[in-house]
Amino acid sequence: MKPQSGDVRHLAAPALAVSAEHLSVRELTRLRWLAIAAQAITIVAVDAVWGVALPTIPLLVILGSAAVTNVVLSRRAGLASQRLVALTLLVDVALLTGVLALTGGPANPFSVLYLVHVMLAAIVTTSRWTWAVVAMSSAGFGLLFLVSVPLPPELGGHAMDMEHRPYSAHLQGMWLAYTLVAAVIAGFVSRLSTALRQERETRSRASRLLGLATLAAGAAHEIGNPLATIRVAASELKNDLAAAGASHEILDDLNLIDAEVNRAHDVLDRMSVGAGELAGEYPVATDLAQLLTETIRQLGPLGARVDIAEIPAGQTVRWPVQAATQALSQLVRNAVEASPAGTPVQCFARIAAEGVEIEVLDCGNGMTREVLDRIGEPFFTTRPHQGTGLGMFIARSLIEHLGGRIAICSSVGKGTRVSVWLPAGVG
Ligand code: ADP
Ligand code: MG
């Protein structure tokens, strides 16, 4: 019954995760120009102040290739994708390794600059890319022990040989310390920035829902009355024309008007109901089994197709009841609507870590990757004539507002499993 293999989408993750946080290509290239200029100035200054001749030509070749990649990069516009930022950082780590290898290897104090790349990766890219930058920079630092030109003696340079064991051991310690610090930054900062990103997404979704509530309140007032008039007029017209023996085409058109007016009403209702639940309902202690059975019962004939397969008895939850009911009923409604007649929809509830896990399983048509990527966007629907595209948006916004999470696992042609986790007590 369960769709085991298939695409999974954790809806609590940011819906727009593809774009790097606030880093445009322009900012990225500007940062790189600064880094290139700083390195060029340092090389010139070392020559001017200490009179040390560094291998200028190979260094210029490396800085020149950094400049070329930056010119190529600057031709792109808009936000830099996480992949682009990560690849650029990996290229920069390689170039920095080249510069360090020519200017004293591990003894060059500027080797600490590797950390800048790790930090940027942790803030802007995913944790997988961040770990790639950590691994590559640690490998680059390690490589400096094997292939590097020692600093001239006037700058305190030594060849990495047996005569200078204590110094060499100190540098190896530095390498180890670097790897540790980079790993801590990768783990900590990237977790922190992911959490901040999610928090921002959740808040912006909640405010979009509240915006929708304001819009819905205005629309319900301004459009609701004319819609009701159209509905009454259409129904009277239909009766009169039917009595006068009007053709089927005319009656079909009137039925269409009636159906479309109902649909418009439905959209207004859902917008105001879903958004209204968010606007400050108090949590009350409720029996979980009772809440679920009531939610399903309220769905009428749709609910009759749902089988409550597992439900813990005597479990009390503290939730805003209308909001929780509204969110869960959207999920159950979707599952039933996606299932062919006669196939059951199952609902499970279990006590999970400090909360409740609720699953809605169906053997319906499932979702493609494209649908999974867009599900939960307001007004996104694959059923333009029956759907409003508000169900998942409202469900997700309400669940996140209650501090919960929602994940979807779906296989085309096999079915869908929607899992919701909600804290047992809200507020
Ligand atoms: P609506 O139901 O009004 O179309 P929703 O926001 O509830 O809008 O759902 C958006 C889309 O997600 C649906 O049109 C449908 O394609 C897809 N969907 C949601 N739930 C399921 C499900 N259980 N199985 C298959 N597709 C689903
Ligand atoms: Mg729906």
Strand partners, 308: 347
Q: Is 391 a domain residue?
A: yes
- According to the model, what pLDDT value does residue 205 have? 74
Q: How confident is the model at residue 194, as a pLDDT?
A: 83
Number of neighbouring beta carbons within 10 Å of residue 248? 8
Report pLDDT for 387: 81
pLDDT the model gives residue 409? 94
Average pLDDT over residues 221-231: 85
Lowest model confidence (mean pLDDT) among 239-243, 278-282, 338-342, 412-416? 278-282
Q: How many residues does the chain have?
A: 427
Looking at the fold, whether 374 and 258 belong to one and the same domain comes out as no
Encoded tokens for 292: 């679920």
Cβ of 391 closer than 6 Å to ligand 1, yes or no, is yes
Distance from Cα 392 to the centre of ligand 2, integer Å: 6
Whether residue 334 sits in one domain with residue 306: yes
Say how many Å lie between the CA of residue 345 and the centre of ligand 1: 15
φ/ψ region of 240 (left if φ > 0, alpha if ψ in -120 to 50, else beta) reads alpha
Q: Residue 140: its pLDDT value, please?
A: 95
Contact 366/416 with Cβ under 8 angstroms?
Answer: yes
Whole-number pLDDT of residue 322: 86
What's the pLDDT at 106?
Answer: 87
The per-residue pLDDT for 12 is 45
**Within-domain flag for 5:** no
Indicate which atom in ligand 1 lies nearest the CA of residue 382: 14
106 lines ligand 1 (CB under 6 A): no
Residue at 2 is within a domain: no
Q: Mark which of 220, 253, 274 sits at the end of a domain.
A: 274
Q: In 3D, which of 157, 150, 161, 155 has the Cα closest to residue 55?
A: 150
Same domain for 260 and 295, yes or no, is no
Report if pTM > 0.85.
no
Last residue of a domain, one of 201, 232, 255: 201
pLDDT of residue 240: 92
Lowest mean pLDDT among 55-64, 146-155, 190-199, 401-410: 146-155
Specify the pLDDT at position 1.
46
Each residue's pLDDT tens digit, 58-99: 998 999 999 999 999 888 877 778 888 899 999 999 999 999
| Average of per-residue pLDDT across 213-236 | 82
Q: Say if residue 163's pLDDT is above 80.
A: no
Domain final position from 274, 302, 329: 274
Higher-confidence residue of 179 and 390: namely 179
Residues 191 and 264 in one domain: no
Residue 53 pLDDT: 74
pLDDT of residue 154: 63
* Lookup: tokens for 170: 């100190």
| Residue closest by Cα to atom 10 of ligand 1 | 381
Residue 410 has phi, psi (to 5 degrees) of -140, 145
Both 384 and 294 in one domain: the answer is yes
- The mean pLDDT value for 161-187 works out to 81
196 and 256 part of one domain: no
Q: What is the pLDDT of residues 97-116, one digit of tens each?
A: 999 999 888 888 889 999 99
Counting atoms of ligand 1 from 1, which one is nearest the CA of 364?
24
Q: What is the structure's pLDDT at 352?
A: 84
Instruction: Express each pLDDT in 16-44 by its tens digit.
Output: 333 345 577 888 889 899 989 988 888 88
Residues whose CB is less than 8 angstroms from the CB of residue 86 and which lie 6 or more positions away in sequence, other chains included: 121, 125, 126, 129, 132, 133
49, 122: one domain: yes
Residue 148 Cα to ligand 1 midpoint, Å, equals: 59
Torsion region of 108: left, alpha or beta (phi above 0 gives left; psi -120 to 50 gives alpha) = beta
Q: How far is the CA of 42 from the centre of ligand 2 (A)?
A: 61
Q: Is the pLDDT of residue 361 over 60?
A: yes
Q: How many CB atoms lie within 10 A of CB 18?
A: 11
State in Å: Cα 259 to ligand 2 middle.
18
Distance 302 CA to ligand 2 centre (A): 12
Whether residues 126 and 34 fall in one domain = yes
Phi-psi region of 155 (alpha: psi -120 to 50; beta: other; left: phi over 0): alpha
Write out the E strands in 363-414: 405-411
- CATH number of the domain encompassing residue 309: 3.30.565.10
Q: Are 335 and 408 in contact (CB under 8 A)?
A: no
User: Ligand 1, closest atom to CA 418?
Assistant: 23
Same domain, 180 and 50: yes
**Token pair in block for residue 106:** 């591990």
Is any ligand 1 atom within 6 A of the Cβ of residue 372? Answer: no
Ligand 1 neighbour 387 (Cβ under 6 A): yes
Structural domain includes residue 86: yes
Question: Which residues form the domain of 264?
Answer: 207-274
Q: How confident is the model at residue 312 (pLDDT cuts 50, 70, 90)?
A: confident
Mean pLDDT for the chain overall: 84
pLDDT score, position 291: 94
| Overall domain count for the chain | 3
334 lines ligand 1 (CB under 6 A): yes
Q: Is the CB of 365 under 6 A from ligand 1?
A: yes
DSSP H or E stretch at residue 118: helix 114-124
- Claim to verify: residue 270 and residue 288 sit in the same structural domain: no
Give the per-residue pLDDT at 11: 58
Q: Are residues 19 and 78 in the same domain?
A: yes
Q: Is residue 55 part of a domain?
A: yes
pLDDT at residue number 14: 36
- On whether residue 308 sits in a domain, the answer given is yes
Q: Is 338 in the pocket of ligand 1 (CB under 6 A)?
A: yes
Which of 273, 311, 274 lies closest to 292 in space, CA to CA?
311
Task: Give me the pLDDT at residue 181, please.
Answer: 94
What pLDDT, on a 0 to 100 scale, did the predictor assign at position 155?
Answer: 63
